Structure 1
C-alpha cells in the first residue's frame, strides 16, 4: 500500500471542501486521521472513509461526489 499517495489523495480532497472542521469535530477528525495512518491495506482505509463519511463531508463541506471520487482514486491504486 502506497501510504504517501493515499495521503495525498485524501489531503487534496479535503482541501477542496469549503469548510474547516470546528472545535468539536476536530478531535474526531484527528482520531480518524490517526486510524487511517495506521492502516495497512487499501480496504481498511476505504472502510474508515465509509464509516466516517458523514462526519468527513460535514466537517470539511464536501459533496458526496467528491468523497466518491476520492474513494475511486484510492481504489485505483490497488489496481
Structure 2
C-alpha cells in the first residue's frame, strides 16, 4: 500500500472543502486520522472513509461527489 500517495489524495480532498472542522469535531477527526495512518490495506482505508463519511463531509464541507472522487482515486492507486 502506498501510504504517501493515499495520504496526499486524502489531504487534497479535505483542503478542497469549504469548512474547517469545529472544536467538537476535531478530536473525532484526529482519531480517524490516526486510524487511517495505522491501516495496512487500501480496503481498510476505504472502510474507514465509508464508516465516517457523514462526519468527514460535515466537518470539511465536502460534497458526496468529492468524497466519492477521493475513494475512486485511492482505488486507482492499487489498480
TM-score normalised over the length of structure 2: 1.00
**Correspondence for 1:62:** 62
* Alpha-carbon offset, residue 7 of structure 1: 0.1
- Residue by residue over 1:8-53, the C-alpha shift from the partner in whole angstroms, topping out at 9 and shown as x without a partner, is 0000000000000000000000000000000000000000000000
Q: How many pairs does the alignment contain?
A: 79
Query: What 5-or-longer segments of structure 2 have no aligned partner?
Result: none
Deviation beyond 3 Å, 4+ runs, structure 1: none
What is the alpha-carbon distance in structure 2 between the residues aligned to residue 75 and residue 6 of structure 1? 9
What is the alpha-carbon distance in structure 2 between the residues aligned to residue 13 and residue 75 of structure 1? 14
1:1-79 equivalence runs, <5 A? 1-79=1-79
TM-score normalised over the length of structure 1: 1.00
* Alpha-carbon offset, residue 5 of structure 1: 0.1
Query: What 5-or-longer segments of structure 1 have no aligned partner?
Result: none
What is the alpha-carbon distance in structure 1 between the residues aligned to residue 57 and residue 65 of structure 2? 10
Alignment RMSD (CA, Å): 0.2
